[in-house]
Structure 1
Amino acid sequence: MRQRLYISLFFSFCFLIVSGQETKVIETDADYQFQSEKNQSAQTESQRQSQTQSQTQSKKSYQYQPSWSFGGNIGLSFWNNGTDILIAPKAYYNVSPQFLAGFGLTYIYSSQEDDFAKYSQNSFGPSVMGAFRPVPFLQLSAEYEGLQTNGDSTIKVGDRDKNSYSYWNNALYLGASFVSRNVSFGVRYDVLYDSTRSVYSSAWSPVIGFYF
Protein backbone atom coordinates (compact mmCIF):
# COMPACT_ATOMS: atom_id res chain seq x y z
CA MET A 1 0.00 0.00 0.00
CA ARG A 2 2.80 2.33 0.96
CA GLN A 3 4.73 1.32 -2.14
CA ARG A 4 1.79 2.25 -4.36
CA LEU A 5 1.51 5.54 -2.52
CA TYR A 6 5.22 6.20 -2.96
CA ILE A 7 5.06 5.22 -6.59
CA SER A 8 2.07 7.52 -7.14
CA LEU A 9 3.85 10.39 -5.41
CA PHE A 10 7.01 9.71 -7.44
CA PHE A 11 5.15 9.83 -10.75
CA SER A 12 3.24 12.94 -9.63
CA PHE A 13 6.51 14.66 -8.77
CA CYS A 14 7.99 13.70 -12.13
CA PHE A 15 4.92 15.02 -13.91
CA LEU A 16 5.19 18.38 -12.16
CA ILE A 17 8.86 18.65 -13.09
CA VAL A 18 8.15 17.84 -16.72
CA SER A 19 5.27 20.34 -16.82
CA GLY A 20 7.50 23.06 -15.41
CA GLN A 21 10.19 22.33 -17.95
CA GLU A 22 7.67 22.42 -20.79
CA THR A 23 6.41 25.80 -19.61
CA LYS A 24 9.90 27.20 -19.54
CA VAL A 25 10.59 25.79 -22.96
CA ILE A 26 7.45 27.42 -24.37
CA GLU A 27 8.37 30.81 -22.96
CA THR A 28 11.81 30.67 -24.58
CA ASP A 29 10.61 29.06 -27.77
CA ALA A 30 11.15 31.04 -31.03
CA ASP A 31 7.49 30.71 -31.94
CA TYR A 32 6.56 32.15 -28.57
CA GLN A 33 8.90 35.08 -29.05
CA PHE A 34 7.46 35.69 -32.54
CA GLN A 35 3.94 35.72 -31.17
CA SER A 36 5.01 38.08 -28.36
CA GLU A 37 6.69 40.48 -30.79
CA LYS A 38 3.64 40.28 -33.06
CA ASN A 39 1.35 41.18 -30.17
CA GLN A 40 3.61 44.09 -29.17
CA SER A 41 3.69 45.31 -32.77
CA ALA A 42 -0.10 45.12 -32.94
CA GLN A 43 -0.39 47.08 -29.69
CA THR A 44 2.05 49.73 -31.00
CA GLU A 45 0.12 50.08 -34.26
CA SER A 46 -3.13 50.37 -32.32
CA GLN A 47 -1.61 53.13 -30.19
CA ARG A 48 -0.42 54.95 -33.32
CA GLN A 49 -3.87 54.77 -34.86
CA SER A 50 -5.40 56.04 -31.63
CA GLN A 51 -2.95 58.97 -31.52
CA THR A 52 -3.64 59.76 -35.20
CA GLN A 53 -7.40 59.73 -34.59
CA SER A 54 -7.04 61.98 -31.55
CA GLN A 55 -4.83 64.41 -33.54
CA THR A 56 -7.37 64.45 -36.39
CA GLN A 57 -10.21 65.12 -33.97
CA SER A 58 -8.12 67.85 -32.33
CA LYS A 59 -7.53 69.52 -35.71
CA LYS A 60 -11.24 69.35 -36.52
CA SER A 61 -12.10 70.90 -33.18
CA TYR A 62 -9.85 73.90 -33.98
CA GLN A 63 -11.38 74.59 -37.40
CA TYR A 64 -12.58 78.20 -37.73
CA GLN A 65 -16.30 78.73 -37.26
CA PRO A 66 -17.90 81.79 -38.96
CA SER A 67 -19.55 84.07 -36.42
CA TRP A 68 -21.15 87.47 -35.90
CA SER A 69 -19.61 90.35 -33.99
CA PHE A 70 -20.83 93.86 -33.28
CA GLY A 71 -19.26 97.26 -32.94
CA GLY A 72 -19.01 100.48 -34.92
CA ASN A 73 -17.85 104.06 -34.56
CA ILE A 74 -18.73 106.82 -32.14
CA GLY A 75 -17.47 110.38 -32.01
CA LEU A 76 -18.04 113.72 -30.29
CA SER A 77 -16.27 116.99 -31.05
CA PHE A 78 -16.63 120.68 -30.29
CA TRP A 79 -15.11 123.37 -32.50
CA ASN A 80 -15.63 127.17 -32.97
CA ASN A 81 -18.99 127.14 -31.15
CA GLY A 82 -19.90 124.07 -33.15
CA THR A 83 -20.80 120.51 -32.22
CA ASP A 84 -20.45 117.24 -34.12
CA ILE A 85 -21.90 113.93 -32.96
CA LEU A 86 -21.35 110.63 -34.77
CA ILE A 87 -23.09 107.34 -33.91
CA ALA A 88 -22.56 104.43 -36.29
CA PRO A 89 -23.41 100.94 -34.96
CA LYS A 90 -22.37 98.02 -37.18
CA ALA A 91 -22.75 94.26 -37.37
CA TYR A 92 -19.95 92.12 -38.83
CA TYR A 93 -19.98 88.59 -40.17
CA ASN A 94 -16.56 86.98 -39.75
CA VAL A 95 -16.31 84.72 -42.81
CA SER A 96 -12.75 83.65 -41.90
CA PRO A 97 -9.87 85.00 -39.80
CA GLN A 98 -8.91 87.16 -42.82
CA PHE A 99 -12.29 88.24 -44.27
CA LEU A 100 -15.29 89.95 -42.75
CA ALA A 101 -18.37 91.71 -44.12
CA GLY A 102 -20.77 94.03 -42.39
CA PHE A 103 -23.59 96.51 -42.51
CA GLY A 104 -24.68 99.36 -40.30
CA LEU A 105 -26.45 102.65 -39.78
CA THR A 106 -24.89 106.10 -39.51
CA TYR A 107 -26.25 109.15 -37.74
CA ILE A 108 -24.45 112.50 -37.70
CA TYR A 109 -25.59 115.67 -36.00
CA SER A 110 -23.79 118.92 -36.71
CA SER A 111 -24.46 122.50 -35.62
CA GLN A 112 -22.65 125.81 -35.36
CA GLU A 113 -23.55 129.34 -34.36
CA ASP A 114 -21.67 132.65 -34.40
CA ASP A 115 -22.52 136.36 -34.54
CA PHE A 116 -23.56 136.23 -38.20
CA ALA A 117 -25.21 132.86 -38.83
CA LYS A 118 -26.21 129.54 -37.41
CA TYR A 119 -27.04 126.17 -38.83
CA SER A 120 -27.96 122.66 -37.75
CA GLN A 121 -28.30 119.46 -39.75
CA ASN A 122 -29.01 115.78 -39.31
CA SER A 123 -27.63 113.07 -41.58
CA PHE A 124 -28.60 109.41 -41.44
CA GLY A 125 -28.42 106.37 -43.70
CA PRO A 126 -27.18 102.78 -44.23
CA SER A 127 -23.73 101.43 -44.97
CA VAL A 128 -22.23 98.14 -46.18
CA MET A 129 -18.59 97.15 -46.00
CA GLY A 130 -16.04 94.42 -46.60
CA ALA A 131 -12.61 94.06 -45.03
CA PHE A 132 -9.50 91.95 -45.49
CA ARG A 133 -6.77 91.34 -42.91
CA PRO A 134 -3.56 90.13 -44.60
CA VAL A 135 -1.97 90.06 -41.14
CA PRO A 136 -3.81 90.14 -37.79
CA PHE A 137 -2.92 93.79 -37.03
CA LEU A 138 -3.70 95.34 -40.43
CA GLN A 139 -7.18 95.78 -41.96
CA LEU A 140 -7.93 96.97 -45.51
CA SER A 141 -11.55 97.97 -46.10
CA ALA A 142 -14.04 99.23 -48.64
CA GLU A 143 -17.33 100.77 -47.47
CA TYR A 144 -20.33 102.31 -49.18
CA GLU A 145 -22.35 104.85 -47.21
CA GLY A 146 -25.47 106.69 -48.30
CA LEU A 147 -26.68 109.61 -46.20
CA GLN A 148 -29.88 111.63 -46.28
CA THR A 149 -29.10 115.12 -44.97
CA ASN A 150 -31.71 117.58 -43.72
CA GLY A 151 -30.71 120.96 -42.35
CA ASP A 152 -31.55 124.60 -41.67
CA SER A 153 -29.28 127.62 -41.91
CA THR A 154 -30.10 131.16 -40.80
CA ILE A 155 -28.36 134.43 -41.57
CA LYS A 156 -28.61 136.65 -38.45
CA VAL A 157 -27.82 139.96 -40.13
CA GLY A 158 -30.08 141.82 -42.53
CA ASP A 159 -33.45 140.19 -43.18
CA ARG A 160 -32.56 137.05 -41.24
CA ASP A 161 -32.89 134.82 -44.26
CA LYS A 162 -33.61 131.17 -43.34
CA ASN A 163 -32.82 128.34 -45.71
CA SER A 164 -33.92 124.70 -45.40
CA TYR A 165 -32.33 121.95 -47.48
CA SER A 166 -32.55 118.21 -48.00
CA TYR A 167 -30.43 115.95 -50.21
CA TRP A 168 -28.92 112.47 -50.57
CA ASN A 169 -25.17 111.88 -50.80
CA ASN A 170 -23.22 108.75 -51.84
CA ALA A 171 -19.77 107.97 -50.46
CA LEU A 172 -17.34 105.12 -51.17
CA TYR A 173 -14.52 104.82 -48.66
CA LEU A 174 -11.26 102.94 -49.10
CA GLY A 175 -9.42 102.63 -45.82
CA ALA A 176 -6.54 101.11 -43.90
CA SER A 177 -6.54 100.54 -40.15
CA PHE A 178 -4.35 99.04 -37.48
CA VAL A 179 -6.12 96.49 -35.29
CA SER A 180 -5.25 95.96 -31.64
CA ARG A 181 -7.47 93.39 -29.95
CA ASN A 182 -11.02 94.80 -30.22
CA VAL A 183 -10.10 98.30 -31.43
CA SER A 184 -9.09 99.59 -34.86
CA PHE A 185 -7.85 103.03 -35.85
CA GLY A 186 -6.77 104.41 -39.21
CA VAL A 187 -7.78 106.61 -42.14
CA ARG A 188 -10.14 106.32 -45.10
CA TYR A 189 -10.58 108.18 -48.40
CA ASP A 190 -13.89 108.94 -50.15
CA VAL A 191 -13.39 108.37 -53.88
CA LEU A 192 -16.82 109.95 -54.58
CA TYR A 193 -16.18 113.03 -52.47
CA ASP A 194 -18.25 116.16 -53.30
CA SER A 195 -17.38 119.17 -51.16
CA THR A 196 -20.82 120.72 -51.74
CA ARG A 197 -22.75 117.69 -50.46
CA SER A 198 -20.52 115.68 -48.11
CA VAL A 199 -20.97 116.12 -44.38
CA TYR A 200 -17.19 115.91 -44.02
CA SER A 201 -14.86 118.80 -44.73
CA SER A 202 -12.33 116.59 -46.56
CA ALA A 203 -12.19 113.40 -48.60
CA TRP A 204 -9.76 112.09 -45.99
CA SER A 205 -11.15 111.26 -42.56
CA PRO A 206 -9.91 109.37 -39.50
CA VAL A 207 -11.79 106.26 -38.44
CA ILE A 208 -11.89 104.52 -35.06
CA GLY A 209 -13.82 101.29 -34.64
CA PHE A 210 -14.48 98.76 -31.91
CA TYR A 211 -15.67 95.13 -31.96
CA PHE A 212 -17.21 92.82 -29.40
Structure 2
Amino acid sequence: MKKNFVMNLTFLLVIVFLFGFKSEIYAQENTENKTKSDFWNHVQFGGGFGLGVGNNYADIMVAPSAIYNFNNYVSAGLGLQYNYIKQKDFYNANLYGASILALFNPLEELQISTEIEQLKVNRTFKNNFESNSQDFWNTALFIGLGYRSENITMGMRYNILHKNRDNIYPEAFMPFVRIYF
Protein backbone atom coordinates (compact mmCIF):
# COMPACT_ATOMS: atom_id res chain seq x y z
CA MET A 1 0.00 0.00 0.00
CA LYS A 2 2.87 2.34 0.86
CA LYS A 3 4.53 1.53 -2.47
CA ASN A 4 1.33 2.47 -4.38
CA PHE A 5 1.12 5.76 -2.48
CA VAL A 6 4.71 6.64 -3.37
CA MET A 7 4.13 5.69 -7.03
CA ASN A 8 0.94 7.81 -7.19
CA LEU A 9 2.66 10.73 -5.51
CA THR A 10 5.61 10.52 -7.92
CA PHE A 11 3.27 10.42 -10.92
CA LEU A 12 1.39 13.49 -9.68
CA LEU A 13 4.59 15.45 -9.10
CA VAL A 14 5.87 14.58 -12.59
CA ILE A 15 2.59 15.84 -14.11
CA VAL A 16 2.80 19.10 -12.15
CA PHE A 17 6.47 19.50 -13.13
CA LEU A 18 5.78 18.94 -16.84
CA PHE A 19 2.76 21.24 -17.10
CA GLY A 20 4.05 23.90 -14.72
CA PHE A 21 6.43 25.62 -17.09
CA LYS A 22 5.50 28.50 -19.34
CA SER A 23 5.80 27.87 -23.03
CA GLU A 24 7.74 31.09 -23.68
CA ILE A 25 11.52 30.98 -23.73
CA TYR A 26 13.45 34.15 -23.01
CA ALA A 27 16.87 34.68 -24.60
CA GLN A 28 17.71 37.60 -22.37
CA GLU A 29 16.42 38.63 -19.00
CA ASN A 30 16.54 42.02 -17.36
CA THR A 31 18.09 41.40 -13.94
CA GLU A 32 18.39 45.03 -12.86
CA ASN A 33 14.88 45.19 -11.34
CA LYS A 34 14.85 41.60 -10.02
CA THR A 35 15.89 42.25 -6.43
CA LYS A 36 12.78 40.67 -4.87
CA SER A 37 11.24 37.30 -5.58
CA ASP A 38 7.64 37.34 -6.74
CA PHE A 39 6.99 33.87 -5.23
CA TRP A 40 4.32 35.10 -2.80
CA ASN A 41 2.46 36.90 -5.60
CA HIS A 42 1.66 33.44 -7.03
CA VAL A 43 0.52 31.83 -3.75
CA GLN A 44 -3.12 31.58 -2.71
CA PHE A 45 -4.46 30.34 0.62
CA GLY A 46 -7.82 28.74 1.24
CA GLY A 47 -9.36 25.47 2.19
CA GLY A 48 -12.50 24.23 3.80
CA PHE A 49 -14.39 24.09 7.07
CA GLY A 50 -17.27 21.79 7.85
CA LEU A 51 -19.65 21.62 10.78
CA GLY A 52 -22.49 19.19 11.23
CA VAL A 53 -24.39 18.97 14.50
CA GLY A 54 -27.53 17.17 15.48
CA ASN A 55 -29.16 15.18 18.24
CA ASN A 56 -26.14 13.62 20.03
CA TYR A 57 -24.06 14.00 16.85
CA ALA A 58 -21.12 16.23 15.89
CA ASP A 59 -18.93 16.38 12.79
CA ILE A 60 -16.21 19.06 12.67
CA MET A 61 -13.73 19.34 9.80
CA VAL A 62 -10.90 21.82 9.21
CA ALA A 63 -8.89 21.63 5.96
CA PRO A 64 -6.52 24.53 5.22
CA SER A 65 -4.54 24.51 1.97
CA ALA A 66 -2.28 26.62 -0.19
CA ILE A 67 -1.62 26.57 -3.94
CA TYR A 68 1.06 28.03 -6.15
CA ASN A 69 -0.06 29.40 -9.54
CA PHE A 70 2.62 28.49 -12.07
CA ASN A 71 0.70 30.35 -14.78
CA ASN A 72 -2.96 31.04 -15.69
CA TYR A 73 -3.54 27.37 -16.45
CA VAL A 74 -1.67 25.28 -13.85
CA SER A 75 -1.56 25.39 -10.04
CA ALA A 76 -0.37 22.93 -7.43
CA GLY A 77 -0.46 22.88 -3.68
CA LEU A 78 -0.61 21.15 -0.35
CA GLY A 79 -3.38 20.70 2.16
CA LEU A 80 -3.93 19.48 5.69
CA GLN A 81 -7.10 17.97 7.11
CA TYR A 82 -8.54 17.13 10.53
CA ASN A 83 -11.97 15.60 11.12
CA TYR A 84 -13.68 14.83 14.41
CA ILE A 85 -16.88 12.80 14.30
CA LYS A 86 -18.91 11.59 17.26
CA GLN A 87 -22.31 10.01 17.66
CA LYS A 88 -23.04 9.52 21.36
CA ASP A 89 -22.85 5.91 22.57
CA PHE A 90 -22.25 4.59 19.04
CA TYR A 91 -19.35 6.03 17.00
CA ASN A 92 -16.24 8.14 17.55
CA ALA A 93 -13.57 9.02 14.94
CA ASN A 94 -10.50 11.20 14.46
CA LEU A 95 -9.11 11.58 10.95
CA TYR A 96 -6.02 13.58 10.10
CA GLY A 97 -3.64 13.81 7.19
CA ALA A 98 -2.39 15.68 4.17
CA SER A 99 -3.00 16.01 0.44
CA ILE A 100 -1.28 17.16 -2.73
CA LEU A 101 -3.44 19.01 -5.23
CA ALA A 102 -2.95 19.89 -8.90
CA LEU A 103 -5.37 22.22 -10.72
CA PHE A 104 -5.63 22.64 -14.49
CA ASN A 105 -7.69 25.49 -15.96
CA PRO A 106 -7.96 24.96 -19.74
CA LEU A 107 -10.68 27.64 -19.83
CA GLU A 108 -11.27 30.44 -17.34
CA GLU A 109 -14.54 28.84 -16.10
CA LEU A 110 -13.42 25.19 -16.20
CA GLN A 111 -11.17 23.51 -13.64
CA ILE A 112 -9.83 19.96 -13.79
CA SER A 113 -8.24 18.69 -10.59
CA THR A 114 -6.26 15.77 -9.27
CA GLU A 115 -5.69 15.25 -5.58
CA ILE A 116 -4.03 12.51 -3.62
CA GLU A 117 -5.05 12.37 0.01
CA GLN A 118 -3.57 10.29 2.81
CA LEU A 119 -5.56 10.17 6.06
CA LYS A 120 -4.89 8.36 9.32
CA VAL A 121 -8.20 7.01 10.63
CA ASN A 122 -8.83 6.18 14.29
CA ARG A 123 -12.42 5.13 14.91
CA THR A 124 -14.42 3.18 17.45
CA PHE A 125 -17.84 1.58 17.08
CA LYS A 126 -19.75 0.89 20.30
CA ASN A 127 -22.95 -0.91 21.17
CA ASN A 128 -24.43 -2.24 24.41
CA PHE A 129 -22.29 -5.39 24.35
CA GLU A 130 -18.90 -4.57 22.83
CA SER A 131 -16.56 -1.98 21.36
CA ASN A 132 -14.64 -2.32 18.08
CA SER A 133 -11.68 0.00 17.35
CA GLN A 134 -10.01 0.49 13.99
CA ASP A 135 -6.76 2.25 13.22
CA PHE A 136 -5.66 2.45 9.57
CA TRP A 137 -4.43 4.67 6.74
CA ASN A 138 -6.85 5.61 3.98
CA THR A 139 -5.57 6.73 0.58
CA ALA A 140 -7.82 8.53 -1.88
CA LEU A 141 -6.99 9.65 -5.42
CA PHE A 142 -9.53 12.16 -6.68
CA ILE A 143 -10.11 13.34 -10.24
CA GLY A 144 -12.43 16.33 -10.37
CA LEU A 145 -14.24 18.68 -12.70
CA GLY A 146 -15.59 22.03 -11.59
CA TYR A 147 -17.08 25.35 -12.63
CA ARG A 148 -14.86 28.26 -11.58
CA SER A 149 -15.92 31.84 -10.93
CA GLU A 150 -12.98 34.00 -9.78
CA ASN A 151 -11.69 32.38 -6.56
CA ILE A 152 -14.55 29.89 -6.00
CA THR A 153 -14.86 26.51 -7.73
CA MET A 154 -17.82 24.12 -7.36
CA GLY A 155 -17.89 20.68 -8.87
CA MET A 156 -17.75 16.92 -8.53
CA ARG A 157 -14.79 14.64 -7.89
CA TYR A 158 -14.35 10.88 -8.19
CA ASN A 159 -12.19 8.72 -5.92
CA ILE A 160 -10.39 6.27 -8.22
CA LEU A 161 -9.19 4.19 -5.24
CA HIS A 162 -12.64 3.88 -3.61
CA LYS A 163 -13.42 0.55 -1.93
CA ASN A 164 -16.64 -0.33 -0.15
CA ARG A 165 -14.79 -1.91 2.76
CA ASP A 166 -12.39 -0.11 5.11
CA ASN A 167 -13.13 3.21 3.47
CA ILE A 168 -14.16 6.42 5.13
CA TYR A 169 -16.05 7.76 2.12
CA PRO A 170 -19.42 6.08 1.51
CA GLU A 171 -19.43 6.88 -2.24
CA ALA A 172 -16.78 7.30 -4.92
CA PHE A 173 -18.40 10.53 -6.22
CA MET A 174 -18.23 13.58 -3.96
CA PRO A 175 -19.26 17.21 -4.52
CA PHE A 176 -16.72 19.91 -3.60
CA VAL A 177 -16.36 23.66 -3.13
CA ARG A 178 -12.89 25.26 -3.24
CA ILE A 179 -12.17 28.81 -2.19
CA TYR A 180 -8.75 30.47 -2.54
CA PHE A 181 -7.80 34.03 -1.70
Range class of TM-score, shorter chain: 0.7 to 0.9
Aligned to 1:132: 104
Contact residue 73 and residue 207 of structure 1 kept, 8 A = no
Normalization by structure 2: what TM-score?
0.72
Distance 1:82 1:203 in 2: 24
Normalization by structure 1: what TM-score?
0.62
Aligned to 2:67: 92
| Secondary structure in structure 2 of the residue aligned to 1:201 | coil
Aligned CA RMSD, in angstroms, stands at: 1.7
Q: Name the one with the larger strand percent.
A: 2
Distance 1:210 1:121 in 2: 26
The residue type paired with residue 199 of structure 1 is I
Aligned to 2:131: 162
1:70 Cα deviation from its structure 2 partner = 0.6
Distance 2:167 2:87 in 1: 16
CA displacement 1:71-107 (0-9 Å, x = unmatched): 1122223467533222111110000011000111111
The residue type paired with residue 132 of structure 1 is F
- For structure 1, the residue ranges without an aligned partner over 5 or more in a row are 1-64
Is 1:105 the counterpart of 2:77? The answer is no
1:139 Cα deviation from its structure 2 partner = 0.5
Query: Identity, % of aligned pairs?
Result: 37
Query: 1:186/1:80 Cα in 2 relative to 1: closer, same or farther (>3 Å)?
Result: farther
Is 1:180 the counterpart of 2:180? The answer is no
Aligned to 1:72: 47
1:204 Cα deviation from its structure 2 partner = 0.8
Distance 1:80 1:140 in 2: 38
| Secondary structure in structure 1 of the residue aligned to 2:90 | strand
Aligned to 1:204: 173
